[in-house]
A and B are shown apart, each in its own frame.
Chain A
C-alpha cells in the first residue's frame, strides 16, 4: 500500500516537471509579447507578464494583414477538411463494405502511395500547378490535398468494425442505392471517426508551412504561418511585436483543442496501436 502511494507521488512530481517544460514556451511567448522590445533586450531579463500586450498586438495588425491571412488559412483548412471527410469516408465505405472487381488491387496501390514522402516530388508538383495557373490561388492549397491515403486507410479500418452488415442489407431491401446507403447507414455510424480525421486534417493544414511557402507567392495572399514568418523576417528587430503575432496565431487552435482534444488524443493513440 505504501509503495503504491510513493509511486503515485513520484509520478506526479515527474509529470508536473514535464508539464512545466511543455507549457513554459507559451508563458515566455506571453512575457515577450506583453513587454517592450527594450525590456526584452535588457539584462536581467523581465520574467513577468508586462502591460504592453494590446499595443504590440495593434502593431501586428498595422504591419501585416493578420486577419486576412487568418481568414485565408481558415478557408483553406476548412475546405481541405470538408473535402477530405467526404472523399475519404466515401472511398473507405466502399473499400470496407463492398466487393468489387479490382478492390484489393486498388487498395494495395493506395497503401503503396503511403510510402512516398511528400517532398520527393515537390519541384514537379510546383511545375504542374504553375501549368494549371493555380500558383497563388486557394486552389493550390485545397485541391491537391482533397483526398488522402492516410484518411481512407484509417476510415476503412474504422468502418469495418463500426458498420454492421445487417444495416446495409436492410437498406438494400428498402431499395436504397449505394450512395443512399452511404448517407443513411455509413455517415451516421462513422461520425466519431470523422471527428478525429477532421481535427487531424484541420490542424495539419492550419500549421503547414513548406507547401504554402512555395505556392502562395502573392504577398497579399499568405497563410498565417507564412505571414508570421514574413513579420519575423521584415520586422525581426521588433521582438515584442513578432511575439505578439506568434501568440495571436497559436491561440485559436489551442483554444479549440483544450475544449475538444480529449477524444482526439485517445484516437491518435489507438491509431498507433493498430500499426
Chain B
C-alpha cells in the first residue's frame, strides 16, 4: 500500500521524466541515503537472505553439521510427509492454538468492552492487563508448571479440597495442551484487549446514537455494530495470534526440556518448532531441521491467507458503510417485528 502511494507521488514522476542523462548524477547525489538504508540490507543479506537460500540447499542434504554434506534430493521432504511424529507436532500445535486463541480473543473482547465503558482507573487497568505480556515466558511457565503440577499443584489441591479426584495434568496429552494453552492465553489476553480497545475508541459515537434512536438494545449494538466494525482490528489480532501460535516453543521446552523428552509424556506438548529444535540441535540432523522449517513457513502462509479470506478482504471504509447500513436495517426490522408482536 505504502509503496504504490509513493509511486504515484509527483516527485517520483518527476524523476522518471528527466531522462537517462540525469540518472548517474541522481545516484551520486543520493549516496548518503543509500548509506542510511544500507545497514539493514547488509545485515539482512547475511543473517536473513543467505540463510533462507542456504536452508533450501540444506534441506536437500543429509548433514550432521560436522562431516560431509550428502545430497539426498527430496528424501527429507518425502520422509517428513510420512513421519508420524511430525504430523503429531502439527496437530499438537493446532490444538494448542485453538485452545488458547478462541477463549483469549473472546475474553479480550469482553475486557475491551468493559474498559471502554469504565471511565475510572483506566491507566491502572491498562498497566495491570499488559504486564503479563512483558513478563518472560520462561518465568511464567515455571509458575504455571507448578500450578498444574500433578502432586502438589494448586489446581489439584483445589480439586481435592472440593472432593474431586486429582488430574495428572502434566502427564496426559490433553492436560499438557490445556496447561500450555493457559500460559499462552494468560500472556496475550490483555495485549489483545488493549488493541481491541483502540479499535472501539475509533468507532464514531454517531453510529451508536443513531442505533439508540432506533431503539437498539446494548446487546444488539454490540453484535451488530461493534463486532462488525472491529473487523480490521480482529483481523490484526487473528493474524498475529496465528503466526505466534504456530511458533510456540518455549512453554513445552521449559516444562519438559530437562526431562530429556522435549514433547513431554506421550509427546503431548511436542510443537512444530520444538520438533525442529530437537532434530536440528538435539540430534544434529540439520537437513531434516531445515525441511521442517520450510513446512512451518508454508503453514504460516496458508493460515495467514485463510485468516485474511475469512475476516478481512475488503477496504475499511466500504465495510464501515455497509455494516452501518445493515445494522440499521436489521435493528429497524427487529423493532418493527417487536412492535408487530406487541400489537398482537
Q: Which residues of A contact B (CB under 8 A)?
A: 7-8, 10-12, 14-15, 18-19, 21-23, 25-26, 28-29, 32, 40-45, 87-88, 90-91, 93-95, 98-101, 103-104, 106-111, 113, 115-128, 143-144, 146-149, 152, 156-157, 177-179, 182, 203, 206-207, 209-210, 213-214, 224-225, 228-229, 232-234, 236, 239, 242-243, 246-247, 249-250, 253-254, 257-258, 261-262, 265, 268-270, 272-273, 275
* Given A11-B118, A44-B161, A87-B40: A100 touches B136 (CB 8 Å cut-off): no
Q: Which residues of B contact A116 (CB under 8 A)?
A: 48, 52, 297
Residue B180 lies at the interface, judged by CB distance under 8 Å to chain A: no
Q: Is A40 touching B117 in the complex (CB atoms < 8 A)?
A: no
Q: Which residues of B contact A (CB under 8 A)?
A: 2-3, 6-7, 11-12, 15, 23, 26-27, 29-30, 32-34, 36-37, 39-41, 43-44, 46-52, 54-55, 58, 65, 107, 110-111, 113-115, 117-121, 123, 125-132, 134-140, 142-144, 146-147, 151-152, 154, 157, 160-161, 186, 189-191, 194-195, 197-199, 202, 218, 232-233, 235-237, 243, 246-247, 249-250, 253-254, 257-258, 273, 276-277, 280-281, 286, 289-290, 293-294, 296-297, 300-301
Q: Is B297 touching A261 in the complex (CB atoms < 8 A)?
A: no
* Given A128-B50, A144-B47: A249 touches B139 (CB 8 Å cut-off): yes
A213 to B47, CA, bound (A): 17
Q: Is B12 touching A243 in the complex (CB atoms < 8 A)?
A: no
* Given A12-B118, A43-B160, A128-B47: A119 touches B6 (CB 8 Å cut-off): no
A116 to B250, CA, bound (A): 20
A19 to B123, CA, bound (A): 12
A201 to B247, CA, bound (A): 19
A249 to B249, CA, bound (A): 20
Q: Is A91 touching B3 in the complex (CB atoms < 8 A)?
A: no
* Given A104-B12, A116-B48, A275-B236: A249 touches B146 (CB 8 Å cut-off): no
Q: Is A108 touching B118 in the complex (CB atoms < 8 A)?
A: no
A19 to B110, CA, bound (A): 13
CB distance from A49 to the nearest CB of B (A): 15
User: Which of B46, B258, B301 is in CB contact (< 8 Å) with A128?
Assistant: B46
